[in-house]
Amino acid sequence: MSGMNHTVDYNFLMGWSPFLLLVLIGIVGLYLFATGERGRLSRFSGMGPVNRLKKFLFLFGIFLFFIAKGSPLNMWGHYLFLIHMLQQSIIYLAVPPLILAGLPTRMVDSILVGIGPLRMVWKICTKPIIAIMAFNVLFSFYHVPFIFDAIMSSTLWMNVSIVILLPMAFFMWWPVISPNLAVNSMKPLHKVGYIFGMGMLLTPACALIIFSEGILYQTYLNVPRVLGISLLDDQQSGGIIMKILQEVIYGTALAWIFFQWTRDERKKTEQEDKIRLERIRDMHNP
């Protein structure tokens, strides 16, 4: 097949994006300035320092985004479909929950309250049924062969796809990990059902790729083959990688929900027991 025996000349400096790195460093700097012990941004005044776990989750989310989009991984995604699907899994399934989990509630409240129209738009877009359908339908359309080939052939369309899909991914994850409980946050049991729904809606796109017996995407027909992987094996591996990472990420989210749920129930029980004991003491000591 055309391009099968070509090789790729590569050195470590290829494929890195200094511009994206500078943008992400700026975002991290603002976040640390706003959440640090000193020098908080005026609009977040009184927010107080953020614990280390939240900071780690936010910074790790930013780091993963850079690895997926600003490192040589992005370049290799044009040669191997499985690398492209790894990128997609990181950007849309891993990054949004990490960043949302790292956002302080007061920071989010300040933004949503300070920009009135944004709160209304956000409230509509993060409604569970709208959020879950919007991302998964658009993501499935993205992987329709002729759409995928058109996007991959143009840097402009690749950037447009991220500008559209990334906010949709944040909207989808918001009901599960909402920094603002007043805006479309769900009860733990509903979150469990919602995550199962997320998995079911993503399955058809993965299944189409995994079980296809022919080459779906023309994008990879005439590029150099690397690592000795055939086109069909590469394509099927891409679907498998996304499915596995989806299961791992969604499973981790479920474990986190159950942990939070049991912790809150334990606190609630302890509080009720404390109140009950105080009432018994009052009855015996009028």
- For residue 201, pLDDT over 90 is answered with yes
The answer to whether 2 and 222 have CB atoms below 8 angstroms apart is yes
DSSP 48: -
Residue indicated by tokens 């943008």: 23
What residues have CB less than 8 Å from 158, skipping those under 6 apart? 151, 152
The answer to whether 238 and 212 have CB atoms below 8 angstroms apart is no
Element at 90 (helix H, strand E): none
- For residue 147, pLDDT over 50 is answered with yes
> In the chain, what is the straight-line distance between the N-terminal and C-terminal CA atoms, in Å?
91
Element at 198 (helix H, strand E): helix 188-210
Q: What is the mean pLDDT of residues 192-211?
A: 92
Q: How confident is the model at residue 2 (pLDDT cuts 50, 70, 90)?
A: very low
**Range with the poorest average pLDDT among 7-21, 186-200, 240-254:** 7-21
The answer to whether 183 and 177 have CB atoms below 8 angstroms apart is no
- For residue 207, pLDDT over 70 is answered with yes
Provide the 10 A C-beta neighbour count for residue 163.
Answer: 9
Give the CA diameter of the chain: 92
User: What pLDDT score was predicted for residue 101?
Assistant: 92
User: What pLDDT score was predicted for residue 136?
Assistant: 95
The answer to whether 183 and 112 have CB atoms below 8 angstroms apart is yes
What residues have CB less than 8 Å from 34, skipping those under 6 apart? 40, 41, 44, 47, 107
- For residue 261, pLDDT over 60 is answered with yes
**In the chain, domain spans:** 18-218+229-275
Q: What is the mean pLDDT of residues 132-141?
A: 94
User: 3-class DSSP state for residue 185?
Assistant: coil
pTM of the predicted structure, to 2 decimals: 0.85
CA distance 63 to 76: 18
For 77-118, write each residue's pLDDT tens digit. Answer: 999 999 999 999 999 999 999 999 998 887 777 777 666 677
Q: How many Cα atoms within 13 Å fall on the side-chain side of residue 68?
A: 21
CA distance 160 to 155: 9
User: What pLDDT score was predicted for residue 156?
Assistant: 93
Residue 227 gets the label, from left (phi > 0), alpha (psi -120 to 50) or beta, of: left
- For residue 248, pLDDT over 80 is answered with yes
The answer to whether 15 and 69 have CB atoms below 8 angstroms apart is no
CA distance 50 to 58: 11
